[in-house]
């Protein structure tokens, strides 16, 4: 469809919509997958920035331990309470809260809502040619569950004692006794609210996962067979399965930890526990290791939940901007399925230091190394896809190409951690932080930015500004590396990841790297983090400005091939004017003998083409 | 465009949307209860000898509840079949039977089984004082018979105030049959029909007691898992009952008149959930009552 028809049909569709639903039902309590996707997107972006702000505060304490934070430090106690930053100096408890909540918020309220729920909601039904998700009301419930969960998490900053402070992993028994005793309320304390908020977040993810899988299985357009699905849809499909099957065991763990805190049970509490000099009045008989198993059974697949949607986005953008088919589509699909399966049997590599025994360690070490194979296949296929393409360096493409080496660094530096002998040294150092963040920060978050720039025209009918996009990209890329590369060094010099003073009071390896000690490296890292915060301003302004004033574009501004670009921009309720039919694979770029260098999925296969491609009759469901 | 396959099936999958949805939901439920049951196994294997109680639950009542749930699984299928045959009256009655079974199950659980536990008392004796209470514990007899050591004295607490009042120095307990007659070979194994608490009263000094509570979740890892798992299962039963009530009320008759197949699909989906809840109980029952 070209722009003219869409402009004709779209106002009519919007008008039609107006008669049916009021403003509240249309924009707030909407059941339309696109509105819900955008709601998820805003929620995710806001939490992403909030979680990043928590980290920017921590970076002050790490670079200048014990010094008062100028200006901002004066008014923060008015927001978070007097015991957080008296005179602008951060207390250890507040530092721990910031660390725990940074992790929780970034992972569960930032990236999952954005990568999985927002992009999945907005893009997947469009890409498979569906009018909506399979269960629109469940979809709405899923958004409002994450909303409530987010509110509960935020509320926990303002209860007596402050937000949860036992790390995003909430290891017991530390977490089970944290935020109890004098000065804390029974339910309204940081850790208990963390658990309650988490139940809402899990509920949301489960509802979302069910909806995505059912939608992909049931609502694919006519002719859109499994092997014609865009890779992004495959990535979301596997992600949904990970959430569906990995989250419930953690939910079981959360319920048990909640029981430990509220009903004085001892699921995770060993006998003879002494806290603050007094023996705890509990039955004992619980196991702290059990919590770690339940936690990592989710939290390892969760890492793939964070990265797979990003890989899906990158795949779409690479194919579109290199103007050639994605290399090794089938290998990509089977790799992503293999990753999905293997990610369920690697979790205990987070627990090398718990003394599980060498047999268990050997098993998990083996599976962990095996899972790097499909990951490497995916990354290699992406690189090869660029080979010989006529690359367009649009803003989404900049972010997508930056994703490749960044994810590569993140992935390869994980291999020493997979070997339990090497991990004994690196465990819980800044090396681990650097490895993980290379995957999710310049990795996933770059993919998310790429996706926002790429699908923005579909959501609004306008493009984001190119120049400001580049102003956003380059400082972000540079700062990301200034932040995380030195952390590998710090980790290898022996800096522990949970030190409140940034390592000032500890003896690290005496080596200087480029004239700086391990501790001194905190300063450039922190400055890079703050500059990166500033570098997001062009993005924020560009984003909001472009909604109203961006350059108007047609329905398919990137000259892409997948079905979402056949719908009007923005798509009306019900998405497509007529049900789309897919006649071909998702990445038919630069097909020989064509006028244009892209052939959309809904363009019928011509007889001459059929002979050349040696395919039989087009497959229709 | 409207959302397709809400009632009719998609040709290549042979399913309508909600049926895919419920199977996925059940898969996640398997993982949820799987996590809890794994925790049960983990804790039970970790428990030191004598620290995992047996025979504290009421087996006949549990058996009856099992039968009730299985019966309700049958009636819900009959309700669905009646709808498929477009016999609404029969559907209505079968649905009522299903709802009643669910309500009876919950009532037995919440009004009888749980409160009975809250009334029961147990005191773990300190290792050094075990000899002093040999007449109630019979550890010599247990050792001869190769039974696990007995560390706890259970029964009905006569002086409830003792639980919170530090001035009361001892617990007065009307003993359970095992502690009343510990060397009787009949007590070596739990009974199918629970024996009533005896009149024999033991005085247990607080300073000999490691830890004493009613049979609450805090009592032991066993009761913690019992209350958590049966509680979560009970919430599932309650959810199922509420959904069934909605499908049984006149509001659903309107749907029946408009599109009977749609209501039949709903009942099928809810029925699948109900079978799952039933299946969970089939695991809960032996794990806590019998083994």
Instruction: Compute and round to an integer the Cα radius of gyration of chain B.
Output: 24
Q: Is the pLDDT of residue A409 over 50?
A: yes
CB burial of B208-239 (b: ≥16 within 10 Å; e: otherwise) equals: bbebbbbbbbbbbbbbbbbbbbbbbbbebbbe
CB contact under 8 A, A135 and B211: no
Beta strands, E only, A153-283: 274-275, 278-279
For chain A, how long is the longest CA-to-CA vector? Answer: 84
From chain B, the residues in CB contact with A290 under 8 A are: 39, 42-43
Cα A156 from Cα A200, distance rounded (Å): 14
Domains of chain A (ranges plus CATH)?
301-334+391-418+426-550 (1.20.210.10)
Cα A461 from Cα A473, distance rounded (Å): 22
Cα A307 from Cα A304, distance rounded (Å): 5
Which residues, including other chains, have CB under 8 Å from residue B40's CB and lie 6 or more apart?
B225, B229, B287
Q: How confident is the model at residue A19 (pLDDT cuts 50, 70, 90)?
A: low
Q: How confident is the model at residue A510 (pLDDT cuts 50, 70, 90)?
A: confident
DSSP, res A585? -
Q: Give B207 to chain A, closest Cα distance, Å.
A: 15
Residues 437 through 466 of chain A touching chain B, CB cutoff 8 Å: none
Residue A467, token pair as written in the block: 């120049």
Cis amide bond preceding B174, omega within 30: no
Model pLDDT for residues B200-214, shown as the tens digit of each residue? 999 999 999 999 999
When CB atoms are compared, the residue of B36, B43, B48 closest to A252 is B36
Mean of per-residue pLDDT scores for chain A? 92
The domains of chain B are located at 18-117+220-290, 120-214
Cα A183 from Cα B1, distance rounded (Å): 57
What's the pLDDT at A594? 87
Q: Is the pLDDT of residue A617 over 80?
A: no
What's the pLDDT at A611? 59
Q: Is the pLDDT of residue B31 over 90?
A: yes
Which residues, including other chains, have CB under 8 Å from residue A515's CB and lie 6 or more apart?
none
CB contact under 8 A, B2 and A211: no
The position carrying tokens 């196991």 is A287
Contact by Cβ (8 Å): B224, A266: yes
Does A213 contact chain B (CB < 8 Å)? Answer: yes
What's the pLDDT at A377? 97
Q: Give A199 to chain B, closest Cα distance, Å.
A: 12
* CATH code at B18-117+220-290: 1.20.120.80
Residue A237, token pair as written in the block: 């499909």
The position carrying tokens 């509802």 is A207
User: Which one of A130, A217, A298 would you mutate to disrupt binding with B, by most B Cβ within 10 Å of its Cβ?
Assistant: A217
- What's the sign of the alpha-carbon dihedral A473, A474, A476, A481? positive
Chain B: residue nearest A283 by CA? B220
Q: How confident is the model at residue A322 (pLDDT cuts 50, 70, 90)?
A: very high
Strands B201-205 and B170-175: antiparallel
Mean of per-residue pLDDT scores for chain B? 94
Angle value at C-alpha A539, between A534 and A545, nearest 5 degrees = 125
Q: Is the pLDDT of residue B80 over 70?
A: yes
Cα A74 from Cα B45, distance rounded (Å): 54
Model pLDDT for residues A527-555, shown as the tens digit of each residue? 999 999 999 999 999 999 999 999 999 99
Share of chain B above pLDDT 90, in %: 90
- Report the pLDDT averaged over residues A75-95: 91
Contact by Cβ (8 Å): A332, A231: yes
Model pLDDT for residues A585-606, shown as the tens digit of each residue? 999 999 888 889 999 999 998 8
From chain A, the residues in CB contact with B11 under 8 A are: 621
User: Which one of A248, A360, A577 would you mutate to disrupt binding with B, by most B Cβ within 10 Å of its Cβ?
Assistant: A248
What's the pLDDT at A609? 75
What's the pLDDT at A2? 40
Does A270 contact chain B (CB < 8 Å)? Answer: no
What's the pLDDT at A20? 65
Angle value at C-alpha A254, between A251 and A255, nearest 5 degrees = 90
What's the pLDDT at A9? 42
When CB atoms are compared, the residue of B2, B21, B213 closest to A131 is B2
Contact by Cβ (8 Å): A190, A178: yes
CB contact under 8 A, B28 and A249: no
Does A221 contact chain B (CB < 8 Å)? Answer: no
Model pLDDT for residues A208-231, shown as the tens digit of each residue? 999 999 999 999 999 999 999 999
Chain A: residue nearest B210 by CA? A283
- Report the pLDDT averaged over residues B126-132: 93
From chain B, the residues in CB contact with A621 under 8 A are: 11-12
From chain B, the residues in CB contact with A264 under 8 A are: 217-218
Does B3 contact chain A (CB < 8 Å)? Answer: yes
The position carrying tokens 């032991």 is B220
Cα B136 from Cα A290, distance rounded (Å): 35
- Report the pLDDT averaged over residues A396-413: 96
User: Which one of B7, B9, B31 would you mutate to disrupt binding with A, by most A Cβ within 10 Å of its Cβ?
Assistant: B31
Distances (CA, A) of B246 to A463, B16, B72, B242: 48, 21, 17, 6
What's the pLDDT at B7? 93
């Amino acid at each position: 469809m070209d722009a003219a028809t869409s402009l004709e049909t779209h106002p009519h569709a919007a008008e039609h919509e107006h008669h049916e639903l009021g403003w509240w039902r249309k924009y707030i309590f909407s059941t339309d997958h696109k509105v819900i996707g955008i709601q998820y997107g805003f929620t995710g972006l806001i939490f992403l920035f909030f979680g990043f702000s928590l980290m920017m505060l921590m970076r002050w304490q790490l670079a200048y331990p014990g010094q008062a934070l100028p200006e901002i430090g004066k008014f923060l106690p008015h927001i978070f309470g007097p015991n957080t930053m008296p005179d602008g100096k951060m207390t250890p408890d507040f530092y721990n809260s910031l660390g725990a909540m940074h992790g929780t918020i970034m992972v569960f309220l930032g990236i999952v809502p954005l990568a999985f729920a927002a992009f999945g909601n907005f893009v997947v039904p469009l890409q498979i040619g569906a009018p909506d998700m399979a269960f629109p009301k469940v979809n709405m419930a899923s958004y409002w569950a994450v909303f409530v969960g987010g509110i509960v998490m935020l509320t926990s900053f303002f209860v007596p004692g402050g937000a949860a402070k036992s790390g995003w992993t909430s290891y017991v028994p530390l977490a089970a006794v944290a935020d109890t005793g004098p000065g804390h309320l029974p339910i309204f304390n940081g850790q208990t609210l963390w658990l309650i908020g988490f139940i809402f977040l899990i509920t949301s993810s489960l509802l979302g996962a069910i909806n995505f899988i059912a939608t992909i299985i049931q609502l694919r357009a006519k002719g859109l067979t499994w092997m014609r699905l865009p890779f992004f849809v495959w990535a979301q499909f596997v992600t949904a399965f990970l959430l569906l099957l990995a989250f419930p065991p953690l939910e079981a763990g959360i319920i048990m930890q909640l029981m430990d805190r509220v009903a004085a049970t001892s699921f995770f509490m060993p006998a003879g526990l002494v806290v603050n000099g007094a023996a705890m009045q509990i039955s004992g008989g619980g196991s702290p290791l059990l919590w770690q198993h339940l936690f990592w059974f989710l939290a390892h697949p969760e890492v793939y939940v964070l990265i797979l949607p990003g890989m899906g986005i990158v795949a779409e953008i690479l194919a579109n901007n290199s103007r050639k088919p994605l290399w090794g589509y089938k290998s990509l699909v089977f790799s992503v399925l293999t990753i999905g399966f293997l990610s369920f049997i690697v979790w205990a590599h987070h627990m090398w230091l718990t003394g599980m025994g060498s047999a268990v360690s050997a098993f998990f070490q083996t599976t962990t190394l095996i899972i790097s194979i499909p990951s490497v296949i995916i990354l290699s296929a992406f690189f090869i896809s660029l080979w010989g393409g006529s690359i367009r360096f649009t803003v989404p493409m900049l972010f997508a190409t930056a994703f490749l080496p960044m994810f590569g660094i993140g992935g390869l530096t994980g291999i020493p951690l997979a070997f339990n002998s090497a991990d004994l040294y690196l465990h819980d150092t800044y090396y681990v932080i650097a490895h993980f963040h290379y995957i999710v920060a310049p990795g996933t978050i770059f993919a998310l930015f790429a996706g926002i720039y790429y699908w923005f025209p579909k959501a609004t009918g306008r493009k984001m500004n190119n120049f400001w996009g580049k102003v956003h990209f380059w400082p972000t890329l540079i700062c990301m590396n200034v932040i995380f590369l030195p952390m590998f060094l710090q980790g290898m010099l022996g800096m522990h990841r949970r030190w409140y003073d940034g390592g000032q009071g500890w003896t690290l390896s005496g080596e200087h790297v480029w004239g700086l000690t391990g501790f001194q490296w905190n300063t450039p890292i922190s400055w890079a983090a703050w500059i990166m915060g500033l570098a997001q301003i062009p993005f924020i302004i560009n984003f909001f400005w472009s909604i109203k004033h961006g350059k108007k574009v047609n329905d398919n501004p990137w000259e892409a091939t997948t079905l979402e670009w056949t719908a009007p921009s923005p798509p009306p309720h019900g998405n497509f004017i007529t049900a789309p039919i897919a006649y071909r694979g998702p990445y038919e770029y630069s097909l020989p003998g064509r006028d244009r260098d892209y052939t959309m999925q809904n363009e019928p296969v011509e007889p001459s083409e059929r002979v050349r491609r040696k395919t039989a009759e087009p497959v229709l469901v | 465009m409207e959302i397709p396959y809400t009632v009719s099936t998609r040709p290549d999958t042979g399913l309508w949307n909600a049926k895919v949805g419920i199977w996925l939901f059940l898969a996640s439920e398997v993982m949820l209860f799987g996590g809890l049951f794994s925790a049960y196994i983990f804790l039970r294997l970790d428990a030191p000898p004598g620290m995992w109680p047996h025979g504290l639950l009421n087996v006949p009542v549990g058996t009856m509840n099992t039968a009730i749930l299985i019966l309700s699984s049958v009636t819900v299928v009959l309700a669905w079949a009646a709808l498929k045959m477009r016999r609404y009256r029969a559907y209505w009655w079968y649905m009522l039977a299903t709802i009643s079974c669910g309500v009876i199950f919950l009532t037995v659980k919440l009004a009888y089984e749980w409160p009975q536990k809250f009334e029961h008392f147990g005191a773990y004796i300190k290792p050094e004082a075990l000899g002093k209470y040999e007449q109630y514990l019979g550890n010599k007899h247990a050792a001869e018979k190769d039974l696990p050591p007995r560390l706890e004295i259970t029964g009905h607490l006569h002086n409830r105030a003792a639980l919170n009042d530090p001035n009361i120095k001892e617990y007065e307990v009307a003993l359970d049959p095992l502690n009343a007659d510990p060397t009787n070979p009949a007590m070596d194994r739990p009974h199918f029909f629970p024996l009533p608490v005896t009149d024999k009263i033991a005085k247990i000094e607080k300073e000999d007691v490691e830890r004493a509570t009613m049979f609450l979740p805090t009592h032991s890892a066993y009761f913690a898992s019992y209350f958590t798992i049966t509680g979560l299962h009970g919430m599932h039963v309650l959810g199922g009952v509420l959904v069934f009530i909605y499908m049984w009320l006149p509001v659903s008759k309107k749907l029946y008149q408009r599109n009977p197949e749609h209501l039949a699909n709903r009942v099928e989906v809810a029925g699948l959930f109900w079978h799952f809840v039933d299946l969970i109980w089939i695991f809960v029952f032996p794990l806590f009552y019998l083994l």
